[in-house]
Amino acid sequence: MATKRTTKTKTSAPVTLPKVLTGIAGLDEITGGGLPKGRPTLICGEAGAGKTLFAMEFIVHGAMQFNEPGVFVAFEEKAEELTANVRSFGYDLNKLVAAKKLRVDHVHIERSEIEETGEYDLDGLFIRLGYAIDSIKAKRVVLDTIENLFSGLSNQAIIRAELRRLFEWLKDRGVTVIITGEKGQGTLTRQGLEEYVSDCVIMLDHRVANQISTRRLRIVKYRGSDHGTNEYPFLIDNEGISVLPVTSLTLANRVSSQRVSTGIPSLDEMLGGKGFFKGSSILVSGTAGTGKTSMASYFAYESCRRGEKCIYFAFEESPEQIMRNMKSINVNLEPCVKDGMLIFHASRPSLHGLEMHLLVIYKMIKKYKPKTIILDPITNLVSVGTVSELKSMLVRLIDFLQREQITVLFTALTLNTNVNEQTDEGVSSLVDAWLTVRDIEFNGERNRGLYIMKSRGMKHSNQVREFVISDHGLELVEVFLGPDGVLTGSAREAHQLLEATDDALKTFALGRKDREIARKSLMLEAQIGNLRSEFDSVKEELNKLYMEEELKKEVRKNNLEKITTLRRGGKTNSGSSTTKK
């Protein structure tokens, strides 16, 4: 069904039926170019559904933007009342009237003044209308609401015949007409106006479910043209009507490989060192008080620092509250807000229905053109719809954001029971990256452990990191894998201290051993010295003996020679030879 409607809105380009733009945001997309030109269109709905405003916008936009003057025939309100009513939307009817772009004709039928005395026709209305159209060369006509004729006049047969003639006549004049009609019991309009208007019927609806009202619009019929058949939520705010066209679901969005930092260096580190992909969707889930908003604020702050606009949709806290709280962790968002880089939009989820929230987000994005948006938290939105409704809304939102290349960060609250991880289940498959912060309860304290559940298309850490929030900000600390398992918080710190002590002791012990060895070696060194000197003295002794022997030998030889010389009486030479024998 979803894909069908997109193809319908998309393939309406080759238009055979001439159409006129309404200028109502979003409607021209659904109808593929506006209302059928030169034909009547019926707008029906309950009281307060926005019929008159719809019709007025058609006329005013025609006069202001498309240079098509218009005649507004009011059967209910006086011209002054109408002027006052639409002034709040910024339309100055008097100016348009003066510029001959608009003509308001108040048709007043006072039942008590009228007496029917026989056959009549509605020529008076024809003449008035004809005169009004001619006087400003009108291309657009609104009859709001022609059903009042039925209450003013009693001869239904005449009215019906005349209405048929009126619409034929208007078609002949080639003006595009909007007829409004009150919704009847079981019929589109109370008086069965749809019988006369067979070209285009649009129904406006104002439904209240769970005390929350949502306005919806549906094209019941559009002869000769493709159109979206679904109910489209629409919004009436200070800029008038805007319809939210369901964005394409063809999954043909362009993607970016550009990366954006999370604002937390250690988290970037976990995501391949660079952070998320630009234009991706990120879900941060966790139990209460796990720092989801802090993480979102970091991301917003980082976006602003890069010079990229960011819109923060807060569904739980007021902007002041967030700013104050974030100051405590060293994130000062106030300058960003002052610069206009960060725009806060805080609303209670119960302010209006889901579709309306989507519409508001859509409008804000169109207005401010941010690069990053934050929804904090999406879980609160479940209170105004069911999980499946929320999912369908988020699908469309993500789709739209992807098309606009806007990075989005959702936060989601998960309950501790684990049974109720609804939003995770509903949304996690849609998002590109999913971080979850879990409580790790151990050793009488709660600590936060951050996991990257998934991160499409990039290398990411499989490690649990302890998520520490301090005065300086957010930080991811490696958890300690001790013999008792994962240690966090004070247990981690205690363990780290223990390790440090161990280290100190070890180094001390090592030092002692070293010194002992040094001493021993010194001792041995000394011993070696002793031995060496002993050895030297022994060697010297030996040398001495040897020298003495030599000396003795020499002396003895000399003595012998002397003696021999003496004996031979001067023949000392022969004497020496004999001694040798």
Q: Which residues are near other proteins by CB under 8 A?
A: 105, 107-110, 113-125, 127-128, 130-132, 149, 152-153
* In the complex, least distance from residue 102 CB atom to other proteins, rounded to whole angstroms: 15
What is the C-alpha separation between 544 and 538, in angstroms, rounded? Answer: 10
**What SS3 string covers 458-509?**
CCCCCCCEEEEEECCEEEEEECEEECCEEECHHHHHHHHHHHHHHHHHHHHH
Residue number, 81 or 549, with CB nearest to other proteins:
81
Contact (CB, 8 A) for 281 and 398: yes
Residue number, 153 or 469, with CB nearest to other proteins:
153
Residue number, 114 or 523, with CB nearest to other proteins:
114
Residue number, 123 or 550, with CB nearest to other proteins:
123
What is the C-alpha separation between 440 and 468, in angstroms, rounded? Answer: 12
Residue number, 53 or 107, with CB nearest to other proteins:
107
The three-class DSSP label of residue 102 is strand
Query: What does the radius of gyration of the chain's CA atoms come to, in whole angstroms?
Result: 48
* In the complex, least distance from residue 345 CB atom to other proteins, rounded to whole angstroms: 46
* DSSP conformation class of 247: P
* In the complex, least distance from residue 389 CB atom to other proteins, rounded to whole angstroms: 47
What is the C-alpha separation between 524 and 70, in angstroms, rounded? Answer: 117
Residue number, 73 or 96, with CB nearest to other proteins:
73
Nearest in space to 203 (alpha carbons), one of 214, 190, 187, 219:
219
Is 469 buried (19+), middle (13-18) or exposed (0-12) by CB count in 10 A? middle
* In the complex, least distance from residue 171 CB atom to other proteins, rounded to whole angstroms: 21
Spacing of C-alpha 294 from chain mean position: 15
* In the complex, least distance from residue 114 CB atom to other proteins, rounded to whole angstroms: 5
What is the C-alpha separation between 46 and 58, in angstroms, rounded? Answer: 19
Residue number, 138 or 149, with CB nearest to other proteins:
149
Cα end-to-end span (Å), the chain: 139
* In the complex, least distance from residue 127 CB atom to other proteins, rounded to whole angstroms: 5
Residue number, 124 or 529, with CB nearest to other proteins:
124
* In the complex, least distance from residue 111 CB atom to other proteins, rounded to whole angstroms: 10
Alpha carbon separation from 508 to 71, 398, 505, 518, 520 (Å, rounded): 98, 60, 5, 15, 19
The owner of tokens 């043909």 is 252
Residue number, 25 or 107, with CB nearest to other proteins:
107
* In the complex, least distance from residue 155 CB atom to other proteins, rounded to whole angstroms: 9
Phi and psi torsions of 82, nearest 5°: -60, -45
Enclosing H/E stretch for 423: helix 422-428
What is the C-alpha separation between 163 and 469, in angstroms, rounded? Answer: 72
* In the complex, least distance from residue 160 CB atom to other proteins, rounded to whole angstroms: 14
Residue number, 120 or 546, with CB nearest to other proteins:
120
* In the complex, least distance from residue 81 CB atom to other proteins, rounded to whole angstroms: 16
Residue number, 110 or 471, with CB nearest to other proteins:
110
Residue 166, token pair as written in the block: 């009126």
Is 212 buried (19+), middle (13-18) or exposed (0-12) by CB count in 10 A? middle
Please count the other Cβ atoms lying within 10 Å of the Cβ belonging to residue 200: 26
Q: Which residues of 515-547 are buried (b: 16+ CB within 10 A; e: fewer)?
A: eeeeeeeeeeeeeeeeeeeeeeeeeeeeeeeee
* In the complex, least distance from residue 110 CB atom to other proteins, rounded to whole angstroms: 8
Residue number, 133 or 374, with CB nearest to other proteins:
133
* In the complex, least distance from residue 358 CB atom to other proteins, rounded to whole angstroms: 44
What is the C-alpha separation between 178 and 52, in angstroms, rounded? Answer: 10
